[in-house]
Amino acid sequence: MPKSHSKKNRHPRPKKSERRRQILLELKLRPHVRISELSERFGVSTETLRRDFDSLADEGLVARAHGGATAPTHGHLPSLDERATARIDEREQIGRRAAELISDGETVMIDSGSTTIEMARALAYRGTRCTVITNSIPVAMTLGHGAAEVILCPGEYLAAESAVIGTDTLEFLARFNVDRCMIGSSGFSKEGPSESVRGFAAVKRAMLQRAAARHLLVDSEKFGSKGLAHVGDLSTLKSIVVDKRPEGPLLSALTAANVEIIVTELRHVPVTQDGNKQIAEEKTA
């Protein structure tokens, strides 16, 4: 009499991380996936799939829809290359000042962004001997040939951001405890930092959870603005490094949350008769 084999034995259930990778792959191939369909395909309950979808939605990787999910649509967002050419002086100042907060021997998580890349350049120039964990390929490349030891996270690659995101990235970050994290944000209001780039908010939250000291690098142009996904309350931050001191409700909220405000401002740069700018001096307030 032939042996019977269950569907479960013929098709082993994929692990959670693999299941979520397959959900994201499906959304690259078609605009909408249904919980009932994937439940049968993966051999798991609809409740398990709902938790998968909710988790992916929290990470900004999918948009929940009735009975399933769709790929998120946030409209046009400036790419990393586009952001890197805007407010260069301000970001360089913030990056240099933030790099001064990191000491030899420290462990640091650094997220992806145009301002954190400037900080990585300053950190490499200073020759700080530290261990850096990052989801940003430009940050890793900038620090990889210097004094820092660099650990690059695994994950789903976002070409426009030269960074990785997703379940694998978050699970990897959860393995470490670090002295500091240095993150940027798309928006910054009295409710805290927020993010518009797909999947970045979850990475920032993971870094905040694993760091003893938490620093936000943000230029004043983002004051009062809000990205799609909330990253965390002001109380999660130790300090902010900014090019201009906040005012009004934002300043009041920062003071109430006991967040240190580190301001770096560029003094007036005189122009010589031959049209060349003299070297600018920085002042820290």
Mean pLDDT of 254-280: 66
CATH code matching the domain that covers 80-266, chosen among 3.30.1700.10, 3.30.470.20, 3.40.1160.10, 3.40.50.1360: 3.40.50.1360
What's the pLDDT at 98? 97
Q: What is the pLDDT of residues 64-120, one digit of tens each?
A: 777 777 766 554 455 565 555 557 788 999 999 999 999 999 999 999 999 999 999
Q: What is the pTM of this model?
A: 0.71
Task: Give residue 30's pLDDT.
Answer: 75
Pairing outcome for strands 282-284 and 260-266: antiparallel
pLDDT mean over 232-259 = 96
Residue 152 phi/psi, 5-degree rounding, is -95, 130
- Measured CA to CA, the distance from residue 103 to residue 96 in angstroms comes to 13
Q: pLDDT band for 6, please (50, 70, 90 cuts).
A: very low
Cross-strand bridge partners of residue 110: 134, 182
Say if residue 21's pLDDT is above 60: yes
Question: Which CATH code for domain 15-70?
Answer: 1.10.10.10
Report the share of the chain in percent with pLDDT over 70. 82
Place of tokens 């009499």: 1
Q: For every residue of the chain, which 3-state class applies, written as one string?
A: CCCCCCHHHHCCCCCHHHHHHHHHHHHHHCCEEEHHHHHHHHCCCHHHHHHHHHHHHHCCCCEEECCEEECCCCCCCCCHHHHHCCCHHHHHHHHHHHHCCCCCCCEEEECCCHHHHHHHHHHHHHCCCCEEEECEHHHHHHHHCCCCEEEECCCEEEHHHCEEECHHHHHHHCCCCEEEEEECCCEEECCEEEECCCCHHHHHHHHHHHEEEEEEECCHHHECECCCEECCCHHHCCEEEECCCCCHHHHHHHHHCCCEEEEEEECCCCECCCCCECCCCEEEC
In the chain, % of residues over pLDDT 90: 53
What digits encode the pLDDT tens for the residues 176-188? 999 999 999 999 9
Backbone angles phi, psi at 76, to 5 degrees: -80, 125
pLDDT digit string, tens, across residues 46-64: 888 888 888 777 766 777 7
Query: Do the bridges between strand 192-195 and strand 187-189 make them parallel or antiparallel, or are there none, so unpaired?
Result: antiparallel
Query: Which residue has better confidence, 256 or 27?
Result: 256
Domain boundaries, the chain: 15-70, 80-266
